[in-house]
């Protein structure tokens, strides 16, 4: 098995169907498996998955409650058989040639995490790469106006490039890395699990790449649009866990005051 694709799902049957259809359409000759981990959905997702199971087109792990993105992904990883594991958001669609480009690159880089390029519905490139957050970077972006210093960005290149971290919306992890540094940290229910995993890889001396030739259409935020207050709460909680309380509050202060200052002086 070349590639195991792991898709967490929670009450997003329509998005799930579109994602799976894109995989079926663009899989080519690749030896791959698709594992959907359902986080206790209450919509028609489970019925849809059971029908797909009958046709043998996808594997499903049906959980009785919401274990979050990280909990779902880890359960998928434990089931997966592939040499490489593609973590894929449910609100994505794989574009033509993407899987071939991905497997070609990761086979040549079996000791690296790889993030694929995310595309907005209007065709523009979506920011999907992180710097490891620091107080200095926050000052550079929000006080000095140096864009792409702190916030999520995308490298202006057509070639693969090493970066600090990539989003888990479309991230390939070789099995060799999982054996070396373990599963994702389940203290992150949702958000920051990707940054944390890339940080662990960095500490272990492993590389992280951004691969612009492998493109994924991403309806950013579509999976959580029906409960924005809860997703914001998850974001805040995960940021506190990742940064620590002192650094979290210092970052919040720097960013908030910096945004007000630049607005006051008429700069974006």
Nearest-angstrom CA–CA distance, 121 and 138: 29
Number of domains observed in the structure of the chain: 1
pLDDT, mean of each 10-residue run, the chain (268 residues) = 94 94 90 94 92 81 93 96 96 95 95 97 96 97 94 96 97 96 95 96 97 95 70 92 97 95 79
Which letter, b or e, does each residue of 229-265 get, where b requires 16 or more Cβ atoms within 10 Å of its Cβ?
A: eebeebeebbbebbbeeebbeebeebbeebeeebeee
Task: Name the β-bridge partners of 162.
Answer: 209
- Residues in the chain, total: 268
Task: Write the CATH number for 231.
Answer: 3.90.550.10
Confidence (pLDDT) at 223: 62
Chain centroid, CA 105 distance in Å: 18
Nearest-angstrom CA–CA distance, 86 and 172: 4
Beta strand ranges found along 102-164 (DSSP E): 112-119, 125-126, 129-130, 161-162
Let me know if 228 is exposed, middle or buried by CB neighbors in 10 A (0-12, 13-18, 19+).
exposed
Beta pairing class for 3-9 and 84-88: parallel
Nearest-angstrom CA–CA distance, 95 and 238: 31
Confidence (pLDDT) at 229: 80
Of the candidates 154, 85, 147, 87, the one whose C-alpha atom is nearest the C-alpha of residue 119 is 154
Nearest-angstrom CA–CA distance, 88 and 91: 8
Q: Which domain holds residue 92?
A: 3-264
């Amino acid at each position: 098995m070349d590639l195991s694709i792991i898709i967490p799902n929670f009450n997003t049957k329509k998005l799930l169907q579109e994602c799976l259809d894109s995989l079926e359409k663009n899989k080519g000759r690749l030896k791959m498996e698709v594992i959907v981990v359902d986080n206790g959905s209450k919509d028609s997702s489970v019925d849809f998955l059971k029908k797909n199971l009958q046709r043998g087109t996808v594997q499903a792990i049906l959980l009785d409650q919401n274990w979050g993105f990280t909990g779902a992904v880890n359960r998928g990883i434990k089931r997966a058989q592939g040499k490489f594991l593609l973590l894929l958001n449910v609100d994505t669609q794989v574009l033509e040639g993407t899987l071939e480009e991905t497997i070609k690159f990761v086979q040549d880089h079996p000791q690296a995490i790889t993030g694929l390029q995310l595309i907005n519905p209007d065709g523009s490139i979506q920011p999907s790469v992180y710097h490891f957050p620091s107080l200095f970077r926050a000052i550079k972006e929000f006080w000095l106006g140096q864009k792409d210093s702190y916030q999520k960005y995308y490298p202006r290149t057509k070639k693969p490039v090493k970066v600090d971290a990539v989003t888990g919306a479309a991230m390939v992890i070789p099995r060799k890395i999982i054996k070396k540094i373990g599963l994702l940290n389940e203290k992150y229910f949702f958000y920051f699990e990707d940054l944390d995993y890339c940080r662990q890889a960095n500490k272990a001396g492993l590389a992280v790449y951004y691969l612009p030739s492998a493109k994924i259409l991403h309806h950013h935020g579509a999976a959580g649009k029906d409960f924005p207050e809860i997703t914001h709460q998850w974001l805040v909680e995960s940021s506190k866990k990742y940064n620590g309380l002192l650094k979290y509050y210092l970052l919040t202060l720097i960013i908030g005051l910096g945004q007000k200052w630049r607005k006051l002086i008429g700069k974006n």
